[in-house]
A = this chain, B = another copy of it.
Amino acid sequence: MRTRSGDKRGDILKASIQIFAHQGFDCAKVASIAHEAKIATGSVYLYFQGKDEILDCLFEEFWDSLLATMKTIDDPAPMKRIEAQLGAFFDGLADNRAFSMIYLRDFHRFAARPSPRQESWLACLALGRAAFQEAALRPFDASDIALSHAYVFGGVRSALEHWMSHEELPRNLVRTRMLTMAIASIAALAKEIE
């Protein structure tokens, strides 16, 4: 017998963040990830099915962690909750530049492959939409909620992307302004639909 030593799975995940962030998922070679993780190329396949699964696991970790944070947000005022949720999302990414690059470029790959690893992501979506629903004061169509939710997350995502590639503004200012715009757009829509 022989037992696994060290946390190779973790090493691979850490290494893959560096490699994916710098090369992009497409150009990232499994061999580079293995090299960065200081293991042999083939060993990657002892821990993951393949390159795709590594990416899925990275996103799974991100959404697991965000879900945990979101579950602690329980302000009774829905607008405050939305603000806190968006803030947490922003922070989760802004705290981690390398992963953010991957999020911005490759999230669609994760989203496009239905799998049990999406569980936390979907739960986050549900929590977000619930807050939007409540903020509307009276029943929105689910489709209206989903639309404004999409708009706001797209805006946040894009503000983040802009900040990461330019960074003239201090992070906190970006965060504040992003929240200002988000809240204003939700409020305006809620009013329009009334």
Chain A residues within 8 Å of B, Cβ to Cβ: 26, 105, 108, 141-144, 146-148, 150-159, 161-163, 166, 168-169, 174, 176-178, 180-189, 192
Contact = CB atoms under 8 A, between A and B. Distances in A.
A163 to B, nearest CB: 7
Given A108-B105, A155-B151, A162 B183 contact: no
A94 B143 CA distance: 18
A18 to B, nearest CB: 19
A166 B145 CA distance: 13
A178 B158 contact: no
Most-contacted residue by chain B among A151, A163, A166, A183 (CB, 10 A): A151
Contacts of A108: 105
A144 B185 CA distance: 18
Contact of A155 (B105, B155, B192): B155
Given A180-B189, A184-B185, A153 B158 contact: yes
A141 B174 CA distance: 13
A177 B186 CA distance: 10
Contacts of A189: 177, 180-181, 184
B185 A155 contact: yes
A142 B189 CA distance: 28
Contacts of A142: 168
A157 B154 contact: yes
A112 B26 CA distance: 15
Contacts of A174: 147
A161 B150 contact: yes
21 contacts: A142-B168, A143-B169, A146-B162, A146-B168, A147-B163, A147-B177, A150-B158, A150-B159, A150-B162, A151-B156, A154-B154, A154-B156, A154-B159, A155-B158, A158-B158, A176-B192, A180-B189, A181-B188, A182-B185, A184-B184, A185-B185
